[in-house]
Homo-oligomer: A and B are copies of this chain.
Amino acid sequence: MQAQLIALDWGTSSLRAYKLGAGGQVLEQRALGYGIMQLPSQPREVNGQPCADGFELAFDEACGDWLRAQPGLPVIACGMVGSAQGWVQAPYCATPARVADLSAAMVPVHSVSGVTLQVVPGVVQNSALPNVMRGEETQVLGLLQGLPADSRNDALLIGLPGSHSKWVSVVEGRIVHFDTFMTGEIFAALSAHTILGRTQERSGAFDSVAFERGVQVAQSCDGDIGPLSTVFSARTLGLTGQLPGRAQPDYLSGLLIGHELRSLGEVLRARSKSTRLPEVMLIGNDQLCERYRRALQACEFPAVDVAAQATERGLWSLALAAGLVTDLTDH
């Protein structure tokens, strides 16, 4: 099948490239380690010219052969590649933001290969404590595209676990509100750079009992004192013989995710003036989504589903809205 679009998901630590055919079908995909903070640095020729620019080198490696095989293919990219530290700065769109707003605000970058990439802007929420995302907006849109047409106008809560997890409220296809939790990055910093790491033993296997114990503590009255205090229990339960070192990493993970979801539930209930929590759709890697799915159930979120292929679908739908591709299946 002929390719229609090259779509790049270009974040801080990785670069994923997709060759998409008619209707956004994935024909081929690649994952490279060239996030914007770890670009290649070895100069070489690109398009017959010497080149030392890390973005150019990574781009050529990700999809240069696809472009040479089929010249003129449009290219679209989302993620931190559009940040101040990226290849080109694509200014944030403000909430409420919908597909058309984002595709109209894409910023082109002209590569030395003669190819132009369209870079998707991030989204900013100008609340008292502002919030920003880059890349997640595209995944959210992709998730919406994957839903049955009759449910696309419902109110939805979309969770995107990661180093910084995002919780995005979507109403009638618009991103109306979102919150960020630094849970993943805080877990990593506590484990590697505080006293809690000294007694942790890493086995690699997921200890679901320890994880769920952590979630329960965060939800219980012992969790009322908040995570700045409860995290110390990962150490003291160890000191008192109640939590072996090999159980401490997943206990701490459950504790932090439990505090995240407890706080999220409380603010959602206060905002909606209702005790009912919304259904949740998750987007992210399988292992992390599985942790959040377990914790959401323990925190009384009524239903949790996991969405697949959200990034590719989102990039395809933005390219369609911008007229970079046409969707023959619509006709």
Seen from chain A, the residues whose Cβ lies within 8 Å of a Cβ on chain B are 124, 126-132, 164, 179-183, 185-186, 188-190, 192-196, 217, 222, 224-233, 236-237, 239-240, 242, 256, 259-260, 263-264, 266-267, 270
Chain A contact residues, majority secondary structure? helix
Q: Could you write out 30 A-B pairs with CB less than 8 Å apart? A: A126-B240, A128-B222, A130-B237, A130-B242, A131-B232, A131-B236, A132-B239, A179-B229, A181-B228, A181-B229, A182-B196, A182-B231, A185-B195, A186-B228, A188-B193, A189-B189, A189-B193, A189-B194, A192-B193, A224-B263, A224-B266, A224-B267, A225-B263, A226-B226, A226-B227, A226-B263, A227-B227, A228-B259, A229-B260, A229-B263
Q: Are B267 and A217 in contact (CB under 8 A)?
A: no
- Please give me the residue from chain B that is nearest to A190 by CB atom: B189
Known interface pairs A192-B193, A217-B129, A222-B128. Does A182 touch B239 (Cβ–Cβ under 8 Å)? Answer: no
- Please give me the residue from chain B that is nearest to A129 by CB atom: B233
Q: Are B228 and A256 in contact (CB under 8 A)?
A: yes
Partner of A129, one of B130, B194, B222: B222
- Please give me the residue from chain B that is nearest to A195 by CB atom: B185
Residues of B within 8 A of A131 (CB): 232, 236
Q: Are A183 and B228 in contact (CB under 8 A)?
A: yes
Residues of B within 8 A of A237 (CB): 129-130
Partner of A164, one of B130, B179, B192, B232: B232
With A129-B237, A186-B194, A224-B270 given, name 17 new contacts (CB 8 A): A129-B232, A130-B236, A130-B237, A130-B239, A132-B239, A179-B229, A180-B236, A182-B228, A182-B231, A182-B232, A186-B186, A189-B190, A192-B193, A225-B264, A225-B267, A227-B228, A229-B263
Bound form: Cα–Cα A212–B180 in Å: 23
Residues of B within 8 A of A256 (CB): 228
Residues of B within 8 A of A190 (CB): 186, 189
Bound form: Cα–Cα A239–B256 in Å: 26
A252 to chain B, nearest CB (A): 12
Bound form: Cα–Cα A179–B223 in Å: 12
- Please give me the residue from chain B that is nearest to A237 by CB atom: B130
Q: Are B263 and A228 in contact (CB under 8 A)?
A: yes
Bound form: Cα–Cα A217–B222 in Å: 24
Residues of B within 8 A of A259 (CB): 226, 228
A196 to chain B, nearest CB (A): 8
A204 to chain B, nearest CB (A): 22
Partner of A130, one of B189, B196, B240, B263: B240
Chain B CB within 10 A, most for which of A124, A194, A222, A260? A194
Q: Are A185 and B194 in contact (CB under 8 A)?
A: yes
- Please give me the residue from chain B that is nearest to A264 by CB atom: B225
Residues of B within 8 A of A270 (CB): 224
A242 to chain B, nearest CB (A): 8
Residues of B within 8 A of A129 (CB): 217, 222, 230, 232-233, 236-237
- Please give me the residue from chain B that is nearest to A226 by CB atom: B263
- Please give me the residue from chain B that is nearest to A186 by CB atom: B228
